[in-house]
Amino acid sequence: GAGVSQSPSNKVTEKGKDVELRCDPISGHTALYWYRQSLGQGLEFLIYFQGNSAPDKSGLPSDRFSAERTGGSVSTLTIQRTQQEDSAVYLCASSPLVGRAGNTIYFGEGSWLTVV
Amino acid sequence: GESVGLHLPTLSVQEGDNSIINCAYSNSASDYFIWYKQESGKGPQFIIDIRSNMDKRQGQRVTVLLNKTVKHLSLQIAATQPGDSAVYFCAERLNDYKLSFGAGTTVTVRA
């Protein structure tokens, strides 16, 4: 597709359930990011994937959060045993380049997660 | 209209006027900066970027200014239109890939 695609766009889940959020980056983009945005707040870095390198997981808030990227393309963010404080918009982004040569990052529309 | 000072969360501007949105960044080693626009219910949309070896860059109706001495970034929007109403975020690149975002400024355009 032309842009970063995320699904589902909206998800309501019960506290304690697991959820999976999917991201399909722009074709040919080697770098993929997950960010979280709570209501009225800025963007919080979660995790970064680049090619076959080990991902930077330094932003994941707890061990209930995990992410994988299969085949260097699609990524899935999994939240286990969801809590109400996990309610937020989860944004995926991708970029075509890495390194100091230039790194414009393009975002998807986000997955709005509500934990009830 | 202008968000005076380091950062104000809201800016109200008359349609047709110029807008100036200010942002202070934290890391003097940051080498790349981006402005994003986020409309309600949508993801952040890239507006314009600038590298640290520049102090000004112009796009269509937008200009970004970078002052590395005081670690300050601004976005100027010429002839603000109703469609410019949104939240604007500045972001700095802290290493080769990670962006750190400011809190955002909500711009409201008055007809």
Candidates A36, A40, A88, A35; CA nearest to B106 is: A40
pLDDT score of B106 more than 90: yes
Question: Min CA distance, A17 vs chain B (Å)?
Answer: 25
Q: For B25-54, write each residue's pLDDT tens digit.
A: 988 889 899 999 999 989 999 999 999 999
pLDDT at site B96 = 73
Residue A65, pLDDT > 60, answer yes
Distance CA B4, CA B21 (A): 8
Tens-digit pLDDT profile for residues B77-88: 999 999 999 999
Q: What is the DSSP string of B47-84?
A: EEEEETT-SEEE-SSEEEEEETTTTEEEEEESS--GGG
Contacts of A5 in chain B (CB under 8 A): none
Question: Which residues from B are below 8 Å from A99, CB to CB?
Answer: 96
Q: Is B42 on the interface with A (CB under 8 A)?
A: yes
Contact (CB<8Å) A103/B32: yes
What tokens appear for A70 in the block? 């299969």
The residue written with tokens 């990011």 in the block is A33
Looking at residues A60-87, what average pLDDT do you find?
95
Structure confidence at residue B105 (pLDDT): 93
Average pLDDT taken over every residue of chain B: 90
Tell me: pLDDT of A102 over 70: no
| B17 part of contact set with chain A, CB < 8 Å | no
B 66-105 residues with CB < 8 A to A: 89, 91, 93, 96-104
- Whole-angstrom distance, CA of residue A30 vs CA of residue A51: 6
Helix (H, G, I), strand (E, B) or coil at B37: strand
Nearest to B96 among A33, A91, A98 (CB): A98
pLDDT the model gives residue B97? 80
Q: Please report residues of B whose CB lies closer than 8 A to that of A50.
A: 97
Residue A69 pLDDT > 90: yes
pLDDT bracket for residue B5 (50, 70, 90): very low
